């Protein structure tokens, strides 16, 4: 924790940088991003060498940038210092022309502000802030608007909202998103809920703002583009980066029939590495595709032989293995 010193420095020193950041209104986040996994050794230490190797391989694809310390990065299992060190090492490995969006969400507003400022200091171009959820029964639209407004007010870099109800049990309400889209330092949202109607409604209701919507999964990427999303943060891009980028190109060039065919072939493997087998499934698949997946941190466990075979079938049945 950076404590009182961070709060003091923000009040004194961030106003000029923040105003400069807001003045030109903002960073264009349109495009595809892999939410990068955090590699661990057999003894559950962060393997920074493997992180760099994975980023170098992923850097061969036409991604807009990388999300570091999102849900796929197992951020709840890392210490604050580890989260910052992962982002710092990633920044060194990622080309300067690629955006680095860092997950900075914590449960309290103060901790989130401190983490956000620290992420900016280690090289993040923007932060992605997940909804606080432990006291979800009290996380009304008013509470969430207050939380995100305070974070955006004090962040020296742009803020992306992050709604992932499968993990948090909390869906960021449309009315809150619309209100927050008017903040000059909130530039967009990653919506992982899978409700394309909601995504389209957010696009519609924020159309007068400089606000961009990213799909949170490749499983509904085509549908999200069809209703006005500008890209996606897609876990499957960690193993099928070329194909996810191809789906983006097909959508952007209006080749909807080809896009539909590719989308269909990506649905089952995407579900396998997200909802069905989660991060252990994604990391196992990374091992198959020439990346380093490796183990997860406990309490996440590796797949059973039966699960691994089911995972392999979801990829091979669609022609990817």
**To the nearest 10°, the Cα dihedral for 222, 53, 60, 314?**
-40
Q: Which of 197, 190, 242 is nearest to 216 (CA)?
A: 190
Q: How far is CA 3 from CA 10, 146, 192, in A?
A: 11, 20, 32
Distance CA 40, CA 44 (A): 5
Q: Token pair for residue 209?
A: 């703002």
Q: How far is CA 80 from CA 29, 69, 93, 213, in A?
A: 26, 11, 20, 28
Phi, psi of 261 (to 5 degrees): -60, -45
Q: Given the residues 190, 198, 283, 284, select the one marked as catalytic.
A: 190
Distance CA 168, CA 95 (A): 32
Scored b (16 or more CB within 10 A) or e, 206-232 reads beebebbbbbbbbbbbbbbbebbbbbb
Q: Which of 280, 237, 277 is nearest to 35 (CA)?
A: 237
To the query of whether residue 190 is one of the catalytic residues in this protein, the response is: yes
> What positions carry a catalytic annotation?
190
């Amino acid at each position: 924790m950076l404590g009182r010193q961070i709060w003091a420095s923000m009040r004194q020193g961030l106003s000029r940088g923040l105003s400069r950041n807001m003045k030109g209104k903002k960073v264009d986040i349109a495009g595809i991003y892999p939410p990068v996994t955090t590699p661990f050794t057999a003894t559950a230490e962060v393997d920074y060498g493997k992180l760099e190797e994975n980023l170098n391989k992923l850097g061969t694809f036409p991604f807009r940038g990388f999300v570091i310390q999102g849900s796929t990065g197992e951020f709840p299992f890392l210490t604050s210092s580890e989260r910052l060190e992962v982002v710092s090492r990633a920044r060194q490995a990622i080309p300067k022309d690629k955006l680095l969006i860092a997950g900075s969400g914590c449960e309290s507003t103060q901790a989130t502000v401190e983490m956000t400022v620290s992420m900016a200091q280690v090289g993040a171009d923007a932060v992605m802030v997940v909804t606080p959820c432990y006291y979800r029964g009290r996380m009304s639209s008013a509470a969430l608007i207050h939380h995100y407004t305070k974070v955006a007010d004090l962040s020296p870099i742009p803020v992306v909202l992050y709604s992932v109800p499968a993990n948090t049990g909390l869906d960021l309400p449309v009315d809150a998103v619309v209100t927050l889209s008017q903040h000059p330092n909130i530039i967009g949202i990653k919506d992982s809920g899978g409700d394309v109607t909601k995504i389209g409604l957010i696009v519609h209701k924020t159309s007068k703002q400089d606000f961009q919507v990213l799909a949170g999964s490749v499983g509904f990427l085509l549908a999200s583009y069809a209703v006005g999303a500008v890209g996606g943060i897609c876990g499957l891009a960690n193993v099928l980066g070329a194909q996810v980028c191809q789906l983006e190109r097909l959508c952007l060039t209006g080749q909807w029939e080809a896009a539909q065919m590719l989308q269909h072939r990506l649905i089952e493997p995407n579900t396998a590495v997200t909802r069905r087998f989660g991060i252990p499934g994604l990391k196992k698949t990374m091992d198959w595709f020439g990346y380093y997946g490796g183990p997860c941190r406990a309490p996440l466990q590796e797949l059973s032989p039966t699960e691994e075979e089911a995972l392999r079938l979801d990829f091979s049945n669609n022609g990817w293995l």
